[in-house]
């Protein structure tokens, strides 16, 4: 088989990149994202931001990779392949995040960057406190296509007296905001998408879900895959919602299956 035919076949699926931490359990982060990308019929590349020591129930430590190390991994991929969308998860700090987003946008201002702001591990390990860096965070929002915080993360990020949904509406002037509803105190399981002046609601399609390690990562990566396939933000969020519910109920343990 010629190299030309190999290349044409690889282009049947759009290219996406996960920029995230390496979770050895493969329930969250880089390895989980790649499994999700494959299941959603896109070709996923992986760029590591942190080496973690963890299982599905315990987080022990992590070693951060610096901006230069992340960009060194990114550059040959983005120079060779037409990347349609990028999902960013765990990353060292806002300065690193801003630099990585700036690098991506310098290659292609139309690239769709999805940020899943991971502030703490489900096992209780705290990664970030971004409340005191409002100006840097605001500049990051302007470089994103979509941000996917859950309710608890929004409470930590808001840093003022505004209501969570009011802040989501404000952020949506810079990028779309999906407020994930897994921890919502009033409407658990319902996600809310904010785009400019519009708010869309995605209700749960199932009466029961089995909790999973890395569920937030999976939802964001499923949405990223759907964006790369050419779907709109609302369509992608709706498809991602269906995917995560299937993933959550793929078994009763903490590590879900992507092809159940």
DSSP 12: T
CA distance 212 to 201: 23
**Can you give the residue ranges of every domain in the chain?**
3-248
pTM of the full structure: 0.91
Q: Does domain 3-248 have CATH number 3.40.1190.20?
A: yes
Q: Which residue matches tokens 């919502």?
A: 184
* pLDDT digit string, tens, across residues 100-126: 999 999 999 999 999 999 876 655 556
Q: How many CA atoms lie within 13 A of 251 on its CB side?
A: 9
* pLDDT digit string, tens, across residues 238-251: 999 999 999 999 99
- Residue 257 has a pLDDT of 97
* pLDDT digit string, tens, across residues 183-224: 677 777 899 999 988 999 999 888 888 999 999 999 999 999
C-alpha distance across the termini of the chain, in Å: 33
């Amino acid at each position: 088989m010629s190299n030309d035919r190999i290349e044409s076949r690889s282009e049947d699926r759009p290219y996406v990149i996960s920029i995230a931490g390496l979770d050895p359990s493969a329930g969250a982060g880089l390895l989980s994202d790649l499994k999700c990308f494959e299941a959603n019929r896109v070709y996923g590349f992986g760029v590591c931001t942190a080496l973690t020591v963890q299982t599905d129930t315990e987080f022990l430590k992590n070693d951060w990779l610096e901006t230069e190390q992340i960009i060194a991994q990114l550059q040959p991929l983005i120079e060779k392949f037409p990347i349609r969308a990028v999902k960013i998860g765990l990353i060292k700090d806002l300065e690193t995040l801003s630099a990585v987003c700036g690098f991506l946008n310098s290659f292609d201002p139309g690239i769709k960057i999805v940020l899943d702001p991971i502030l703490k591990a489900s096992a209780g390990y705290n990664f970030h406190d971004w409340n005191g860096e409002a100006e840097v965070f605001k500049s990051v929002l302007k470089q994103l296509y979509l941000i996917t915080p859950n309710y608890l993360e929004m409470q930590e990020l808001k840093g003022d007296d505004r209501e969570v949904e009011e802040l989501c509406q404000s952020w949506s002037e810079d990028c779309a905001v999906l407020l994930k509803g897994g921890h919502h105190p009033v409407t658990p399981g319902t996600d809310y998408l904010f785009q400019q002046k519009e708010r869309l609601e995605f209700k749960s399609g199932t009466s029961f879900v089995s909790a999973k390690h890395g569920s937030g990562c999976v939802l964001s990566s499923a949405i990223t895959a759907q964006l790369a396939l050419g779907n709109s933000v609302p369509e992608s969020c709706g498809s991602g919602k269906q995917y995560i519910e299937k993933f959550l109920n793929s078994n009763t343990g903490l590590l879900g299956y992507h092809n159940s």
